[in-house]
């Protein structure tokens, strides 16, 4: 089944019927919910904490700033999703692919930023990376860039 053939979740769920029978739909729904919920909540919390810390509104879970910024990130994500549904911007599968492509581009940028920040004395003080950590992190960054390039150039833009 090609990506172009998938325009609703029931076609994907049907692929599980040979293995799970009629329960395949339920297995698919439980799995999809679990994946979406765990990623959405954790990523929203990370985004809320980073945003709050950057705005100097607090950096601990008991501070109000991270809680408010996490709620803001969650509501922003929900708002974008609702807009996409109401405006009928595109097929759900195409929107998922677009979101994943964004992640593929953002991941190396975030990794490079983290590597840069962990080497700044003004940020890390005496706890900056040593040569071994920088070597392993640089190798990881190179692998991440290569994987992202392969996905963008071979899988997405083919």
Domain ranges of the chain: 1-89, 91-158
- Buried-state track 39-69, b at ≥16 Cβ within 10 A, e below 16: eeeeebbebbbebbbeeebbeeeeeebbbeb
pLDDT band at 143 (very low <50, low <70, confident <90, very high): very high
3-state helix, strand, coil in the chain (%, to 5): 80, 0, 20
pLDDT band at 138 (very low <50, low <70, confident <90, very high): very high
**Is the pLDDT at 154 greater than 90, yes or no?**
no
pTM tops 0.75, yes or no? no
- Give 32-88 pLDDT, tens digit per residue: 888 878 778 888 898 899 899 989 999 888 999 999 999 999 999 888 888 888 887
């Amino acid at each position: 089944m090609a990506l172009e053939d998938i325009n609703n979740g029931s076609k994907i769920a049907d692929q599980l019927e040979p293995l799970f029978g009629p329960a395949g739909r339920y297995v698919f729904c439980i799995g999809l919910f679990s994946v979406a919920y765990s990623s959405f909540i954790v990523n929203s919390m990370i985004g809320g904490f980073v945003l709050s810390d950057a705005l100097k509104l607090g950096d601990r879970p008991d501070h109000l700033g991270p809680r408010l910024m996490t709620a803001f990130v969650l509501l922003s994500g929900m708002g974008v999703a609702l807009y996409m549904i109401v405006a009928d911007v595109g097929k759900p599968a195409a929107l998922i692919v677009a979101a994943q492509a964004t992640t593929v581009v953002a991941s190396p940028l975030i990794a490079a930023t983290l590597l840069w920040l962990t080497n700044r004395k003004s940020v890390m003080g005496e706890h900056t990376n040593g040569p071994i950590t920088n070597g392993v992190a640089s190798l990881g960054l190179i692998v991440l860039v290569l994987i992202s390039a392969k996905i963008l150039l071979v899988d997405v833009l083919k």
